């Protein structure tokens, strides 16, 4: 009886784990966000104009489920974002729905260091309710670039 109960408990745990994974496969992980940001850094060092174009078009591996990069130029304005409505916004002035000035935190990024900034932002898609998002931020060649993942 004890063996049967243990096997049943293991089966239930495996099914629950699979169900949780199935619910989250559409979302990027913190490790995937960091890898994408590292790719942005390499690409921006090689060819900023090409990288900005690829980000804006979601090409070159710069769009994966709910992961995407965004960059502000040396003048502090967004130049790369998959949502054209966000291009031209002054990064340091951007606030979330709670009033948190997360753009100012982005704007204080430094070269060769990745920092985390938490804020509220809607996931891509039809549901526009803001959820907690963590932006991984760095400065590269005078640009501030971010890849965020949702918690």
Q: What is the mean pLDDT of residues 127-150?
A: 96
Query: What whole-number distance in Å separates Cα of residue 70 and Cα of residue 61?
Result: 13
- H or E segment and range at residue 144: strand 143-150
Find the length of the chain.
Answer: 151
Does residue 10 sit in helix, strand or coil?
helix
Q: What percent of the chain has pLDDT over 70?
A: 83
The closest of 73, 71, 80, 83 to 121, measured between CA atoms, is 83
Does residue 71 sit in helix, strand or coil?
strand
Q: What is the mean pLDDT of residues 90-117?
A: 96
Q: What is the pLDDT of residue 25?
A: 66
Of residues 4 and 38, the one with the higher pLDDT is 38
Which tokens sit at 142? 């005078």
List 118's β-bridge partners, or say none.
134
Residues 66, 78, 52, CA angle at the centre, nearest 5°?
Answer: 70
Above 70 in pLDDT, residue 8?
no
Residues 19-74: tens digit of each pLDDT: 333 345 689 999 999 999 999 999 999 999 999 999 999 999 999 999 999 999 99
How far lies 81's CA from each of 6, 24, 57, 62, in Å?
50, 24, 9, 10
Helix axes 30-46, 48-57, angle to 10 degrees: 140
């Amino acid at each position: 009886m004890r063996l049967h109960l243990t096997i049943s408990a293991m089966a239930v745990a495996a099914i629950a784990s699979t169900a949780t994974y199935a619910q989250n496969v559409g979302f990027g992980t913190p490790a995937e966000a960091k890898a994408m940001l590292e790719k942005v850094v390499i690409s921006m060092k090689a060819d900023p104009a090409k990288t900005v174009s690829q980000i804006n078009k979601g090409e070159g591996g710069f769009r994966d489920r709910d992961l995407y990069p965004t960059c502000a130029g040396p003048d502090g304005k967004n130049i790369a974002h998959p949502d054209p409505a966000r291009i031209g916004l002054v990064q340091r002035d951007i606030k979330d729905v709670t009033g948190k000035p997360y753009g100012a935190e982005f704007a204080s990024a430094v070269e060769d260091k990745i920092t985390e900034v938490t804020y509220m932002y809607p996931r891509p898609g039809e549901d526009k309710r803001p959820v907690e998002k963590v932006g991984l931020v760095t400065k590269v060649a005078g640009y501030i670039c971010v890849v965020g993942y949702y918690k």
